[in-house]
Amino acid sequence: MSVSASSSSPSPVPVLSEKQVDNLLAAKEDEHGGVIVEMSTTQPPMDPIVFTSLLKASILHWKQQGKRGVWIKLPIELVNLIEPVVKEGFYYHHAEPKHLMLVHWIPETTNTLPANASHRVGIGAFVMNENGEVLVVQEKSGKFQGTGIWKFPTGVVDEGEDICSAAVREVKEETGIDTKFVEILAFRQSHKSFFDKSDLFFMCMLQPLSFNIQMQEREIEAAQWMSFEEYASQEFVQKHDLLRYIAKLCIAKRDGKYSGFSPVPTITSFSNKPSNLYFNTKDFDFNSS
Amino acid sequence: MSVSASSSSPSPVPVLSEKQVDNLLAAKEDEHGGVIVEMSTTQPPMDPIVFTSLLKASILHWKQQGKRGVWIKLPIELVNLIEPVVKEGFYYHHAEPKHLMLVHWIPETTNTLPANASHRVGIGAFVMNENGEVLVVQEKSGKFQGTGIWKFPTGVVDEGEDICSAAVREVKEETGIDTKFVEILAFRQSHKSFFDKSDLFFMCMLQPLSFNIQMQEREIEAAQWMSFEEYASQEFVQKHDLLRYIAKLCIAKRDGKYSGFSPVPTITSFSNKPSNLYFNTKDFDFNSS
């Protein structure tokens, strides 16, 4: 099955001999009756026409085996193999900077493939010291650059990161302050945050464990402890009802009059993976039957 | 700039004359100092080599203009243009079934491009009638197929959909029951839910507004109102601490001893878009200053 890599004129797909049918793409079975092919850049480069033959034979094989979803993961270095995969009936499932995942549903039945990720997740951090001062920053870039607005530290939850860990990490990165996660005071869901994707923003309360600010130069213009009243009286806070609500929740929390959601570690049912369940633990009787 | 579409031998990139520099890819400016090119399938098909020339000239132009992020959205029909885009230094940002979004950061400075979506969002629905019976279903597919397990209705939040709307929609779709959203009792974050993506699952309480079940044949094997005690005593619920916690929260809520988070519509600050802020409204004094 040697085909010149330089030829790009369309050629009829060769009928594979029995021997050649043995020559299939390496695939792992998944837990849902499907298979996943992870193409690697460490293998010798593959000609798109050779690849197409292998793919056609493999799909036939998987079909005969009664497989359902077929996944193909292509690193960006193998960008030349995307077109042959799409021509065999695959579509895109998701992409990360350095790879594209394509999928093809073999059966006639409605596909039960998992939906793509739809939300980005961010955090904001309410950190108050014993003097009733709150930790605030000015950002070097973005829409608040140069505005002089003091805001709570915020950031994006990394892939695979717990919300509570992300809040502690972002505060440490931006200000050098060590903290302990207390609870989620509120969260906001918004849409079309970037292209058609949505956004979940979790407003977290953290307890400071250190007090000397060491500002991150790359992202942060300024950082300080500021009286809560001074923070809340900024025109920027007063004129946005979202920020006014959050400021009121912070005050109610400070005064012991508010309960948010705290993380409780559980084993995710069915998959045996640890995960956090966040709920109002103050209202919850852990000892009830 | 006419180049034969059938030639695929590498050719040196032509130096564009001043006249040709006018011949650029159509782009819209975004709000962050960047541009977005949305390639369309309604345009005449474009040869990859012609496209490469246009792209090179366009990048030069955007660079001179001081543009930052350059986005190119390619519908799956234009799969043959992905390779030329990647060769010009773009990488993948995200993909949906029928398109791929690529991005290139022009400046020398650290890129401030938005992170890709990292989480899928799902809901579960606790719906109890006045007899203390809870709405439960058996699923036709997935890991609960054929197990005889009765579970709360669950589903995935659609792109751009509010969590509270998704809960009402899923209950209606699966059981025909009309409901009113009450509050979020708890949520769970778990990781590596599919590939490297994470999952946020919101357990919602809904109040039933109708009572005659009309089951959806496609996804649901059976649906009924069941005494809460019977639901909670299933071995499946008892042996998973996550489900035991949720059952206890439901009982505490039924007995008026628990407060979750309710949605309050706000205008998203800075962008003037409506969004919901979810918090413990029972603990919140809306009239305080």
Evaluate if residue B270 carries a pLDDT over 90: no
Residues of chain A neighbouring B245 (CB-CB closer than 8 A)? 264, 266, 277, 279
Smallest CA–CA distance, residue B52 to chain A, in Å, is: 15
Q: What is the mean pLDDT of residues B97-111?
A: 93
Evaluate if residue B4 carries a pLDDT over 80: no
Token look-up 């409605």 returns: A110
Evaluate if residue A18 carries a pLDDT over 60: no
Evaluate if residue A88 carries a pLDDT over 90: yes
pTM, full prediction: 0.88
Nearest CA in chain B to A198: B160
Interchain proximity B280–A269, CB inside 8 Å:
no
β-pair partners for B139: B220
Residues comprising chain B, all counted: 289
Rounded to 5 degrees, what are φ and ψ at A255? -85, 10
pLDDT tens per residue, range B216-233: 888 899 999 999 999 999
Q: For this structure, is A173 an active site residue?
A: yes
Among A58-62, A271-275, B84-88, the range scoring the smallest mean pLDDT is A271-275
pLDDT tens per residue, range A41-55: 877 778 899 999 999
Rounded to 5 degrees, what are φ and ψ at B272? 65, 20
Residues of chain A neighbouring B268 (CB-CB closer than 8 A)? 188, 190, 242
Question: Which residues numbered 90-119 in B keep a CB inside 8 Å of some CB on A?
Answer: 91-101, 110, 112, 114-119
Beta strands B35-38; B69-75: pairing state: parallel
Residues of chain A neighbouring B86 (CB-CB closer than 8 A)? 76, 79
Percent of chain B at pLDDT > 90 equals 70
Determine contact: B67 vs chain A, CB below 8 A. Answer: no
pLDDT tens per residue, range B193-215: 888 899 999 999 999 999 999 99
pLDDT at A14: 45
Q: How far is the C-alpha of B260 from the C-alpha of B186, rounded, in Å?
A: 7
Interchain proximity A252–B162, CB inside 8 Å:
no
Interchain proximity A269–B186, CB inside 8 Å:
no
Smallest CA–CA distance, residue A18 to chain B, in Å, is: 32
Interchain proximity B121–A95, CB inside 8 Å:
no
Find all residues with CB under 8 Å of A249, minimum gap 6, and list them: A185, A186, A203, A258, A260, B279, B284
Q: Write down the catalytic residue from A173, A219, A229, A235.
A: A173
Percent of chain B at pLDDT > 70 equals 90
Cα–Cα distances in angstroms (integers) from residue A98 to residues A249, B86, B92, in the given order: 41, 10, 7
pLDDT tens per residue, range A166-205: 999 999 999 999 999 999 999 999 998 888 899 999 999 9
Nearest CA in chain B to A250: B284
Q: What is the mean pLDDT of residues B86-98?
A: 96
β-pair partners for A188: A201, B277
